[in-house]
Structure 1
């Protein structure tokens, strides 16, 4: 089924740092199954700002083992949604929230004996926090290393919670902080998470003996770590990553797909919630299938429009498309016909996409 919004009441708001809050939602009994989640997944939140519906994707920082459903929101300079949150959201307010989605996790089992390493920078700690909590609480024989990059000590999100985990799981949780704008006694704790830092960390982390890696943060850091690990011949299936890109922003690394040189219109057929509609879209248009459908008045699931969150994922039933970027999709998903409609442009005369087949 396609995703839709549900009204959820804010249960609690915590000030995590001067630039970050976390919001806990009350999940009614009749929605608990719909809002059940895996560690590391995310939700899309919608609110009306100055007469316009604005959507943003936020990762869950709570663990599914708890009775919490909590996201973290970092204040961004000039950020429309995050600034509105800080000024207007209060306990008791109702927000429209989509059920959790995302593949940024691995299945956990009590009998696992694994070695996990997580790299996070800034608010990239949000899904990582959910993941490492769940692993440490579920797998008593597994070990976790967290490399967490921040500007300064006072910008650490979930600082108390992270150190509480360190104290509780002394033998199984290794914590390594790095600060880019604050000098430290140990050189290994100063600087950004880049190739030099990753090489330094080899004295503490045996990369080729790690079972699963999780990486989350700004695009530059995330891709740097991913490429570093792949260069060490670490299998791609062991490397899980999630990009944090500002809503609507395009990747700075992946080139935009070449728009079709064909003239004329493509007939676009869209299936959603058991209904179908169609419209025409010029073959050489730089407008995505998602944006064109929205212009036609369609109510489709979407959030980041940057090829990352996968909220707009659909099955390509007929025809062919080109995607600008597709960070949120694995190659095997693309091989099965899944596309990100926010990045897709028609290159055949007819294209049929189905949002009900996710």
Structure 2
């Protein structure tokens, strides 16, 4: 049951029999990859309890303040699940999300009265249905407040996008441009997005200078759909080794590779490994490692490249990797 933070803290004190159920910094690693949430949290508004004392799975109502200044209440699961597929900073705040996507009012005739008694009229929402008016219906602009503007989203499922229905994979139309190749083959895809990160290009060039691999491939054929495609687009593909290299950071707004995006990364890794590939992720910004060969570094440097080469040798064997050395 979700409860206020002060009541939750007192209950934990009673159940554990100690004045401080969780030590400061106990959950630091769990919150480290959410820098936006660290900035939005204020202990003075949450009974003096710091964020690293709160388990990410705790069903407790916490008070947050977004960068704009909106103060709202949400659970840790709601906040950690907010990024979804959006790349806007406002997704961390329910009020900013409503303002970013304003409610569309129905278009009314010019002679429509400002106030209409409920039994006489109905507001037409679409061409197929009418919504009966409850009490009185005010025309847009007459002190109307969008019904989506709420201070808490406790009823929303973490990570869910309101108003959208995602069809099952069997009913969706997948990209028809993927060539018919054996699962696990690397190829040049016309659907793959262009490289948007300068760090990825720098990483690829560092490998080009050291090895004679084939670097013109940008996709791997999968045996099952992944985000409406049957192909994956790793940042760097080494077909000779069947190794995919990914560069992960939290991005400018701290939205990348956290929350639901981390779940997507895990799905992508499983899809690649199921067709015989291995994945090496270079994780920065205190992002936790997802696989056995991931590297947690502060950035791409000469030392990072050396660690990556050593990892390639561990995964595929030094004799095989060094055979492609320039």
> Shared fold by TM > 0.5?
no
More strand by share: 1
More helix by share: 2
TM-score by length of 1: 0.24
TM-score by length of 2: 0.25
Higher alpha-carbon Rg = 2
